Amino acid sequence: MIEPLGLSALLYTLTGICAGLLGAVLGLGGGVLTVPVLTLLLGVPPHMAVAASLVGVVATSVSSSAGYLHRDLPLVRTGLILVMMTVVGAIIGSLVAGYLSGEAIFVLFSVLLLYTAVNMWRGRRVREIEGDPDAYAVTPLALAGAGAAGCISGSLGVGGGVLNVPVLNILLGAPIHRSTSTSTFMMGLTAAAGCVAYFMRGELLISLAAPLVAGVLIGARLGPRVAVAIEPTGIRRAFVFVLIFVAIRMSWGVFS
Amino acid sequence: MSRGERLSGERVPRRRLTEGLGEHYQRGYVAALLVMLAALLYPITGWQAIDDLATFGLLVLIGVPILAVCRVGATALVCRDRSLALIAAGILALLALAVLVPVLLSGGR
Protein backbone atom coordinates (compact mmCIF):
# COMPACT_ATOMS: atom_id res chain seq x y z
CA MET A 1 0.00 0.00 0.00
CA ILE A 2 1.21 3.52 -0.71
CA GLU A 3 1.69 5.36 2.57
CA PRO A 4 -0.37 8.56 2.67
CA LEU A 5 2.75 10.60 3.42
CA GLY A 6 3.61 12.85 0.49
CA LEU A 7 7.25 13.59 1.34
CA SER A 8 8.77 10.15 0.81
CA ALA A 9 6.72 9.66 -2.40
CA LEU A 10 8.05 13.02 -3.61
CA LEU A 11 11.66 12.01 -2.80
CA TYR A 12 11.23 8.69 -4.65
CA THR A 13 9.78 10.54 -7.65
CA LEU A 14 12.71 12.99 -7.67
CA THR A 15 15.16 10.07 -7.46
CA GLY A 16 13.42 8.51 -10.45
CA ILE A 17 13.57 11.75 -12.47
CA CYS A 18 17.32 12.11 -11.75
CA ALA A 19 17.95 8.44 -12.65
CA GLY A 20 16.00 8.81 -15.90
CA LEU A 21 17.77 12.06 -16.83
CA LEU A 22 21.24 10.81 -15.97
CA GLY A 23 20.58 7.52 -17.71
CA ALA A 24 19.71 9.34 -20.92
CA VAL A 25 22.64 11.80 -20.70
CA LEU A 26 25.31 9.22 -19.78
CA GLY A 27 23.86 6.15 -21.51
CA LEU A 28 23.26 4.21 -18.27
CA GLY A 29 20.23 2.21 -17.15
CA GLY A 30 19.78 4.33 -14.03
CA GLY A 31 20.19 1.50 -11.50
CA VAL A 32 23.73 2.61 -10.54
CA LEU A 33 22.17 5.84 -9.24
CA THR A 34 18.85 4.52 -7.90
CA VAL A 35 20.14 1.81 -5.55
CA PRO A 36 22.78 3.95 -3.74
CA VAL A 37 20.38 6.93 -3.36
CA LEU A 38 17.58 4.72 -1.99
CA THR A 39 19.81 2.80 0.42
CA LEU A 40 22.35 5.40 1.58
CA LEU A 41 20.29 8.61 1.51
CA LEU A 42 16.71 7.44 2.00
CA GLY A 43 17.35 4.41 4.25
CA VAL A 44 15.52 1.82 2.12
CA PRO A 45 16.59 -1.82 2.84
CA PRO A 46 18.93 -3.13 0.07
CA HIS A 47 16.64 -5.93 -1.19
CA MET A 48 13.69 -3.54 -1.58
CA ALA A 49 15.88 -0.93 -3.25
CA VAL A 50 17.10 -3.53 -5.77
CA ALA A 51 13.51 -4.65 -6.50
CA ALA A 52 12.27 -1.07 -7.04
CA SER A 53 15.31 -0.28 -9.16
CA LEU A 54 14.53 -3.25 -11.42
CA VAL A 55 11.05 -1.83 -12.14
CA GLY A 56 12.77 1.49 -12.87
CA VAL A 57 15.00 -0.31 -15.37
CA VAL A 58 11.90 -1.71 -17.12
CA ALA A 59 10.51 1.85 -17.27
CA THR A 60 13.77 3.20 -18.76
CA SER A 61 13.78 0.41 -21.33
CA VAL A 62 10.14 0.92 -22.37
CA SER A 63 10.56 4.68 -22.68
CA SER A 64 13.85 4.60 -24.61
CA SER A 65 13.03 1.59 -26.80
CA ALA A 66 9.95 3.34 -28.21
CA GLY A 67 12.22 6.02 -29.71
CA TYR A 68 14.99 3.65 -30.76
CA LEU A 69 12.57 1.27 -32.52
CA HIS A 70 11.01 4.13 -34.50
CA ARG A 71 14.53 4.92 -35.76
CA ASP A 72 15.08 1.23 -36.62
CA LEU A 73 18.20 0.97 -34.42
CA PRO A 74 17.89 -2.17 -32.23
CA LEU A 75 18.97 -5.53 -33.64
CA VAL A 76 15.74 -7.24 -32.58
CA ARG A 77 16.57 -10.77 -33.71
CA THR A 78 20.10 -10.77 -32.24
CA GLY A 79 18.81 -9.08 -29.08
CA LEU A 80 16.11 -11.71 -28.57
CA ILE A 81 18.63 -14.56 -28.93
CA LEU A 82 20.80 -12.94 -26.25
CA VAL A 83 17.73 -12.22 -24.10
CA MET A 84 17.19 -15.97 -23.67
CA MET A 85 20.49 -16.06 -21.75
CA THR A 86 19.96 -12.78 -19.88
CA VAL A 87 16.56 -14.02 -18.65
CA VAL A 88 18.15 -17.25 -17.37
CA GLY A 89 20.83 -15.12 -15.69
CA ALA A 90 18.21 -12.79 -14.20
CA ILE A 91 16.23 -15.72 -12.73
CA ILE A 92 19.41 -17.13 -11.15
CA GLY A 93 20.57 -13.68 -9.98
CA SER A 94 17.26 -12.73 -8.37
CA LEU A 95 17.04 -16.11 -6.60
CA VAL A 96 20.63 -15.88 -5.36
CA ALA A 97 19.97 -12.31 -4.14
CA GLY A 98 17.28 -13.71 -1.82
CA TYR A 99 20.02 -15.57 0.09
CA LEU A 100 22.50 -12.66 0.13
CA SER A 101 22.77 -10.38 3.14
CA GLY A 102 22.38 -6.62 2.73
CA GLU A 103 26.13 -6.24 3.37
CA ALA A 104 26.99 -8.68 0.57
CA ILE A 105 24.76 -6.71 -1.84
CA PHE A 106 26.58 -3.51 -0.80
CA VAL A 107 30.02 -5.05 -1.45
CA LEU A 108 29.01 -6.54 -4.83
CA PHE A 109 27.41 -3.25 -5.83
CA SER A 110 30.60 -1.38 -4.89
CA VAL A 111 32.62 -3.64 -7.20
CA LEU A 112 30.11 -2.99 -10.01
CA LEU A 113 30.31 0.79 -9.41
CA LEU A 114 34.12 0.74 -9.56
CA TYR A 115 34.03 -1.29 -12.79
CA THR A 116 31.53 1.20 -14.29
CA ALA A 117 33.70 4.14 -13.13
CA VAL A 118 36.85 2.68 -14.74
CA ASN A 119 34.94 2.02 -17.99
CA MET A 120 33.55 5.57 -18.07
CA TRP A 121 36.96 7.13 -17.35
CA ARG A 122 38.80 5.15 -20.04
CA GLY A 123 36.04 5.58 -22.60
CA ARG A 124 34.70 2.66 -24.58
CA ARG A 125 36.87 0.84 -27.08
CA VAL A 126 34.28 0.88 -29.84
CA ARG A 127 33.75 -0.44 -33.31
CA GLU A 128 31.84 1.81 -35.67
CA ILE A 129 31.78 -0.31 -38.83
CA GLU A 130 28.23 -0.79 -40.09
CA GLY A 131 27.62 -4.30 -41.35
CA ASP A 132 24.45 -6.09 -42.45
CA PRO A 133 22.11 -5.67 -39.44
CA ASP A 134 20.65 -9.14 -40.06
CA ALA A 135 23.99 -10.93 -40.25
CA TYR A 136 25.45 -10.84 -36.73
CA ALA A 137 26.28 -14.40 -35.68
CA VAL A 138 25.82 -14.98 -31.95
CA THR A 139 28.84 -16.78 -30.46
CA PRO A 140 28.95 -18.96 -27.30
CA LEU A 141 31.14 -16.31 -25.60
CA ALA A 142 28.52 -13.64 -26.34
CA LEU A 143 25.82 -15.91 -24.86
CA ALA A 144 27.93 -16.38 -21.73
CA GLY A 145 28.44 -12.60 -21.45
CA ALA A 146 24.69 -12.04 -21.79
CA GLY A 147 24.04 -14.62 -19.07
CA ALA A 148 26.46 -12.81 -16.75
CA ALA A 149 24.76 -9.48 -17.54
CA GLY A 150 21.38 -10.99 -16.63
CA CYS A 151 22.78 -12.34 -13.36
CA ILE A 152 24.13 -8.89 -12.41
CA SER A 153 20.81 -7.31 -13.36
CA GLY A 154 18.72 -9.74 -11.31
CA SER A 155 20.90 -9.62 -8.20
CA LEU A 156 21.86 -5.92 -8.09
CA GLY A 157 18.90 -4.16 -9.75
CA VAL A 158 20.79 -2.62 -12.67
CA GLY A 159 20.14 -2.86 -16.42
CA GLY A 160 23.21 -4.92 -17.27
CA GLY A 161 24.27 -2.56 -20.06
CA VAL A 162 27.82 -2.43 -18.64
CA LEU A 163 28.24 -5.98 -20.00
CA ASN A 164 25.64 -6.14 -22.76
CA VAL A 165 27.01 -3.18 -24.74
CA PRO A 166 30.60 -4.59 -24.88
CA VAL A 167 29.16 -8.02 -25.81
CA LEU A 168 27.25 -6.54 -28.76
CA ASN A 169 29.91 -4.04 -29.80
CA ILE A 170 33.21 -5.87 -29.24
CA LEU A 171 32.26 -9.57 -29.43
CA LEU A 172 29.58 -9.38 -32.15
CA GLY A 173 30.91 -6.30 -33.98
CA ALA A 174 27.68 -4.25 -34.01
CA PRO A 175 28.19 -0.45 -34.22
CA ILE A 176 27.95 1.37 -30.90
CA HIS A 177 24.60 3.11 -31.63
CA ARG A 178 23.01 -0.25 -32.48
CA SER A 179 24.69 -1.92 -29.48
CA THR A 180 23.37 0.70 -27.03
CA SER A 181 19.84 0.60 -28.41
CA THR A 182 19.77 -3.21 -28.52
CA SER A 183 21.04 -3.36 -24.93
CA THR A 184 18.27 -0.93 -23.86
CA PHE A 185 15.68 -3.08 -25.67
CA MET A 186 17.03 -6.24 -23.98
CA MET A 187 17.20 -4.85 -20.44
CA GLY A 188 13.40 -4.43 -20.22
CA LEU A 189 12.81 -8.16 -20.62
CA THR A 190 15.72 -9.08 -18.37
CA ALA A 191 14.55 -6.77 -15.58
CA ALA A 192 10.91 -7.92 -15.99
CA ALA A 193 12.03 -11.51 -15.35
CA GLY A 194 14.00 -10.38 -12.30
CA CYS A 195 11.04 -8.38 -10.93
CA VAL A 196 8.90 -11.51 -10.72
CA ALA A 197 11.08 -13.23 -8.09
CA TYR A 198 11.15 -10.09 -5.92
CA PHE A 199 7.38 -9.68 -6.31
CA MET A 200 6.80 -13.29 -5.24
CA ARG A 201 9.01 -12.78 -2.14
CA GLY A 202 7.04 -9.64 -1.20
CA GLU A 203 10.09 -7.39 -1.60
CA LEU A 204 8.59 -5.26 -4.38
CA LEU A 205 6.95 -2.41 -2.46
CA ILE A 206 4.33 -0.57 -4.50
CA SER A 207 4.70 2.49 -2.23
CA LEU A 208 8.34 2.72 -3.30
CA ALA A 209 8.23 1.48 -6.89
CA ALA A 210 5.20 3.50 -8.10
CA PRO A 211 6.56 7.03 -7.46
CA LEU A 212 10.05 5.95 -8.54
CA VAL A 213 8.72 4.60 -11.85
CA ALA A 214 6.62 7.72 -12.47
CA GLY A 215 9.82 9.77 -12.03
CA VAL A 216 11.86 7.52 -14.31
CA LEU A 217 9.19 7.68 -17.05
CA ILE A 218 9.27 11.49 -16.91
CA GLY A 219 13.08 11.77 -16.62
CA ALA A 220 13.81 9.30 -19.41
CA ARG A 221 11.63 11.34 -21.80
CA LEU A 222 13.22 14.66 -20.79
CA GLY A 223 16.75 13.19 -20.92
CA PRO A 224 17.38 13.27 -24.68
CA ARG A 225 16.34 16.99 -24.81
CA VAL A 226 18.71 17.82 -21.94
CA ALA A 227 21.49 15.70 -23.47
CA VAL A 228 21.65 17.78 -26.68
CA ALA A 229 21.83 21.04 -24.69
CA ILE A 230 24.82 20.16 -22.46
CA GLU A 231 28.37 18.90 -22.89
CA PRO A 232 28.36 15.31 -21.60
CA THR A 233 32.15 14.84 -21.22
CA GLY A 234 32.47 17.01 -18.09
CA ILE A 235 29.42 15.39 -16.49
CA ARG A 236 30.81 11.97 -17.34
CA ARG A 237 34.13 12.76 -15.60
CA ALA A 238 32.36 14.26 -12.58
CA PHE A 239 30.08 11.22 -12.36
CA VAL A 240 33.14 8.92 -12.26
CA PHE A 241 34.22 10.59 -8.98
CA VAL A 242 30.66 10.30 -7.65
CA LEU A 243 30.64 6.56 -8.47
CA ILE A 244 34.01 6.03 -6.74
CA PHE A 245 32.84 7.98 -3.69
CA VAL A 246 29.58 6.00 -3.50
CA ALA A 247 31.46 2.69 -3.91
CA ILE A 248 33.80 3.58 -1.02
CA ARG A 249 30.86 4.82 1.10
CA MET A 250 28.89 1.58 0.52
CA SER A 251 31.86 -0.65 1.39
CA TRP A 252 32.88 1.56 4.34
CA GLY A 253 29.60 0.85 6.10
CA VAL A 254 30.20 -2.90 5.76
CA PHE A 255 33.86 -3.13 6.76
CA SER A 256 33.99 -0.43 9.44
CA MET B 1 -0.56 -28.25 -45.59
CA SER B 2 1.87 -29.92 -43.18
CA ARG B 3 3.34 -28.16 -40.15
CA GLY B 4 6.74 -28.13 -41.85
CA GLU B 5 5.27 -26.36 -44.90
CA ARG B 6 3.49 -23.78 -42.73
CA LEU B 7 6.76 -22.92 -40.98
CA SER B 8 9.05 -23.04 -43.96
CA GLY B 9 11.93 -20.95 -42.61
CA GLU B 10 11.24 -17.48 -44.10
CA ARG B 11 12.61 -14.40 -42.33
CA VAL B 12 10.45 -11.53 -41.07
CA PRO B 13 11.66 -8.26 -42.67
CA ARG B 14 13.55 -6.30 -39.98
CA ARG B 15 11.68 -3.07 -40.69
CA ARG B 16 8.34 -4.80 -40.14
CA LEU B 17 9.52 -6.04 -36.75
CA THR B 18 10.89 -2.71 -35.53
CA GLU B 19 7.90 -0.65 -36.74
CA GLY B 20 5.37 -2.92 -35.04
CA LEU B 21 7.38 -3.05 -31.82
CA GLY B 22 7.93 0.73 -31.87
CA GLU B 23 4.16 1.34 -31.90
CA HIS B 24 3.68 -1.26 -29.16
CA TYR B 25 6.31 0.32 -26.89
CA GLN B 26 4.96 3.83 -27.51
CA ARG B 27 1.41 2.80 -26.53
CA GLY B 28 2.79 0.93 -23.49
CA TYR B 29 4.80 3.96 -22.42
CA VAL B 30 1.79 6.31 -22.63
CA ALA B 31 -0.47 3.86 -20.77
CA ALA B 32 2.08 3.26 -17.99
CA LEU B 33 2.85 6.99 -17.62
CA LEU B 34 -0.84 7.94 -17.32
CA VAL B 35 -1.55 5.24 -14.74
CA MET B 36 1.58 6.06 -12.69
CA LEU B 37 0.85 9.79 -12.72
CA ALA B 38 -2.70 9.07 -11.51
CA ALA B 39 -1.19 6.84 -8.78
CA LEU B 40 0.83 9.82 -7.51
CA LEU B 41 -2.47 11.34 -6.35
CA TYR B 42 -2.76 8.72 -3.59
CA PRO B 43 -0.62 10.57 -1.01
CA ILE B 44 -2.95 13.59 -1.50
CA THR B 45 -6.33 11.84 -1.67
CA GLY B 46 -5.73 8.60 0.29
CA TRP B 47 -8.23 6.77 -1.95
CA GLN B 48 -7.74 2.99 -1.93
CA ALA B 49 -8.74 2.75 -5.60
CA ILE B 50 -5.68 4.80 -6.58
CA ASP B 51 -3.42 2.47 -4.57
CA ASP B 52 -4.83 -0.46 -6.56
CA LEU B 53 -4.29 1.58 -9.72
CA ALA B 54 -0.57 1.86 -8.87
CA THR B 55 -0.30 -1.94 -8.64
CA PHE B 56 -2.13 -2.25 -11.96
CA GLY B 57 0.21 0.36 -13.49
CA LEU B 58 3.31 -1.60 -12.48
CA LEU B 59 1.83 -4.76 -13.97
CA VAL B 60 1.07 -2.86 -17.20
CA LEU B 61 4.67 -1.63 -17.31
CA ILE B 62 6.23 -5.05 -16.67
CA GLY B 63 3.78 -6.50 -19.23
CA VAL B 64 4.93 -4.20 -22.06
CA PRO B 65 8.21 -6.04 -22.89
CA ILE B 66 6.57 -9.43 -22.28
CA LEU B 67 3.70 -8.65 -24.68
CA ALA B 68 6.31 -7.40 -27.16
CA VAL B 69 7.72 -10.94 -27.29
CA CYS B 70 4.18 -12.30 -27.90
CA ARG B 71 3.86 -9.81 -30.74
CA VAL B 72 7.20 -10.88 -32.25
CA GLY B 73 6.11 -14.52 -32.00
CA ALA B 74 2.78 -13.79 -33.71
CA THR B 75 4.49 -11.85 -36.52
CA ALA B 76 6.99 -14.68 -36.95
CA LEU B 77 4.17 -17.24 -37.28
CA VAL B 78 2.33 -15.09 -39.83
CA CYS B 79 5.54 -14.69 -41.85
CA ARG B 80 6.49 -18.37 -41.41
CA ASP B 81 9.75 -17.44 -39.71
CA ARG B 82 10.35 -20.66 -37.81
CA SER B 83 13.56 -19.66 -36.02
CA LEU B 84 12.16 -16.37 -34.71
CA ALA B 85 8.94 -18.08 -33.59
CA LEU B 86 11.02 -20.61 -31.63
CA ILE B 87 13.11 -17.85 -30.05
CA ALA B 88 9.94 -16.00 -28.94
CA ALA B 89 8.43 -19.23 -27.60
CA GLY B 90 11.68 -19.97 -25.72
CA ILE B 91 11.70 -16.54 -24.07
CA LEU B 92 8.05 -16.89 -23.02
CA ALA B 93 8.79 -20.34 -21.58
CA LEU B 94 11.70 -18.88 -19.61
CA LEU B 95 9.50 -16.04 -18.32
CA ALA B 96 6.95 -18.65 -17.20
CA LEU B 97 9.84 -20.37 -15.42
CA ALA B 98 10.69 -17.07 -13.70
CA VAL B 99 7.18 -17.16 -12.20
CA LEU B 100 7.18 -20.87 -11.37
CA VAL B 101 10.64 -21.25 -9.80
CA PRO B 102 10.01 -18.94 -6.80
CA VAL B 103 6.64 -20.64 -6.22
CA LEU B 104 8.21 -24.11 -6.32
CA LEU B 105 11.09 -23.04 -4.05
CA SER B 106 8.64 -21.67 -1.51
CA GLY B 107 6.78 -25.01 -1.43
CA GLY B 108 3.82 -23.87 -3.54
CA ARG B 109 2.84 -21.01 -1.22
Nearest-by-Cβ selection for B91 from A13, A63, A87: A87
Contact state of B25 with A9 under an 8 Å Cβ cutoff: no
Structural domain boundaries, residue B95: 13-105
Is B64 an interface residue toward A (CB < 8 Å)?
Answer: yes
Q: What is the pLDDT of residues B26-85, one digit of tens each?
A: 999 888 888 888 877 766 777 777 778 888 888 888 999 999 999 999 999 998 889 999
Contact state of B14 with A76 under an 8 Å Cβ cutoff: yes
Q: What is the pLDDT of residues A9-35, one digit of tens each?
A: 888 989 999 888 887 777 677 788 888
Rounded mean pLDDT of chain A? 83
**Which of A132, A214, A156 is closest to A29 using CA atoms?**
A156
Residue A54: DSSP 8-state: H
pLDDT band for position A124 (cuts 50, 70, 90): low
Is B54 an interface residue toward A (CB < 8 Å)?
Answer: yes
Contact state of B65 with A59 under an 8 Å Cβ cutoff: no
Residues B69 and B61: their CA atoms lie apart, in Å, by: 14
Contact state of B32 with A62 under an 8 Å Cβ cutoff: yes
The lowest-confidence range among A46-60, A85-99, A161-175, B16-30 is A161-175
pTM of the shown model? 0.86
Residues A175 and A191: their CA atoms lie apart, in Å, by: 24
Nearest-by-Cβ selection for A62 from B42, B44, B65: B65
Contact state of B39 with A214 under an 8 Å Cβ cutoff: yes
> Is B47 contained in some domain?
yes
Q: For chain B, what is the domain count?
A: 1
Helices A206-229 and B48-78 meet at what angle, rounded to 10? 60
> Is B26 contained in some domain?
yes
Residue B45 CA neighbour count, 13 Å, CB half: 10
pLDDT at A231: 67
Are the CB atoms for A37 and A242 separated by under 8 Å? no
